[in-house]
Amino acid sequence: MRSLGVLTATITLSLFYSACTTVSPGPPPEALQFQDRSAQVQQLTRKVAERDRALQSMQTDAVMEYTAPDRHPPKVREQITARRPDCLRVEAMSAFSIALILATSGKHLAIFEPSKNKLIRAAATADTLNQFIQIPMAPADAVTLLLGIAPGSTMLADRKPDTIATEDDLTVASWTMPAGTRRELGFRDDQLAMVRERNAAGAIEYEVRYSEYQDLGGLMFPYVVDATFPVAQSRVSFHYKRPIINAEIPDSVFVLSPPPANQQANANP
């Protein structure tokens, strides 16, 4: 009788736990949906990271447009040469000639004004680039922006996003970065369409939009770059014309050698 009682209790407990397993709720639909979207975002981010690793340089004619509360200059034709990680040369054209040449490599920057035969040397900082070419970023960040590269894409490709949202026609994923900042990538039609950086307080530091992608030798490359900087209350956009990517660019391109007898000055923006 004792054995029969133990057997009965065992069967009863087995049925009870089986029933609990049967009715135990699985992950909520929202969690399953996030898992699916997270997997899709990681796939897109890996694709972007692969493309970013392949992009090393760019040479192009461009039309630049800049707006700020106190400045609304006309569109400017430029010749832009950029090479990772931080080499940049911008030649701004006037109606009939070159109005200004800026070249930077590493920590050093030079600006040459042909009409005055004047060479200015300065530290390569966000303030200097903002003063002369209206991009309030350090050279390495400016090169990243102009090449259409998502900052830290290789690292982000190995991490699941913290959040995923839909903004108009964009799928926007967000990751927490060091010091509490946030990086957001927006995707449209399987291409990187937006990069947004927020500070620890949640305010937008900058937002860059990429569009009009074309296939250049097997790499998708944006012909339009549109960047806004809320702190500086400025916006700068570039429309590229016939860009050449990954050509060999010698170091001498990023070093200015003005003609003799020029004026030289140090800039402290």
In the structure, what pLDDT confidence band is assigned to residue 266 with cuts at 50, 70 and 90?
A: low
In a domain, 111, yes or no: no
Supply the pLDDT for residue 13: 45
- What is the pLDDT at residue 29? 55
Give the mean pLDDT of 197-208: 95
In a domain, 129, yes or no: no
Residue 83 domain flag: no
Q: What is the pLDDT of residues 156-169, one digit of tens each?
A: 988 999 999 999 99
- Count of domains observed in the chain: 1
| Average predicted confidence (pLDDT) for the chain | 85
Quickly state the pLDDT bin for 5 (edges 50, 70, 90).
very low
- CA dihedral (227, 229, 230, 235) positive or negative: negative
Asked whether residue 15 is assigned to any structural domain, the reply reads no
* Structural domain includes residue 229: yes
Q: How far apart are CA 256 and CA 118, in angstroms?
A: 11
pLDDT exceeds cutoff 80 at 95? no
In single-letter form, the type of residue at position 81 comes to: T
The pair of structure tokens assigned to 254 is: 């990023």
**Alpha helices, DSSP H only, in 120-268?**
126-133, 139-147, 153-157
pTM of the model: 0.81
23 burial level (CB within 10 Å; 0-12, 13-18, 19+) = exposed
Model pLDDT, residue 16: 46
Residue 176 lies in a domain: yes
The residues pairing with 98 across neighbouring beta strands, listed in sequence order, are 93
Name the more confident of 71 and 180. 180
pLDDT on residue 101? 94
Percentage of the chain beyond pLDDT 90 is 63
What gap in Å lies between CA 72 and CA 196, rounded to an integer? Answer: 24
264 lies in a domain? no
> Per the domain annotation, does 39 fall within a domain?
yes
Does residue 260 carry a pLDDT above 80?
Answer: no
Residue range of the domain that includes 169:
32-71+136-251
pLDDT interval class at 82 (50, 70, 90): very high
- What's the CA gap between 238 and 263, in Å, rounded? 31
What is the rounded average pLDDT of the residues 82-89? Answer: 96
Q: Are 88 and 143 in contact (CB under 8 A)?
A: yes
Question: In this structure, what DSSP letter does residue 71 have?
Answer: B
- pLDDT at residue 267 tops 80: no
Sign of CA dihedral 74, 122, 90, 52: negative
pLDDT tens column, 8-28: 444 444 544 454 445 455 555
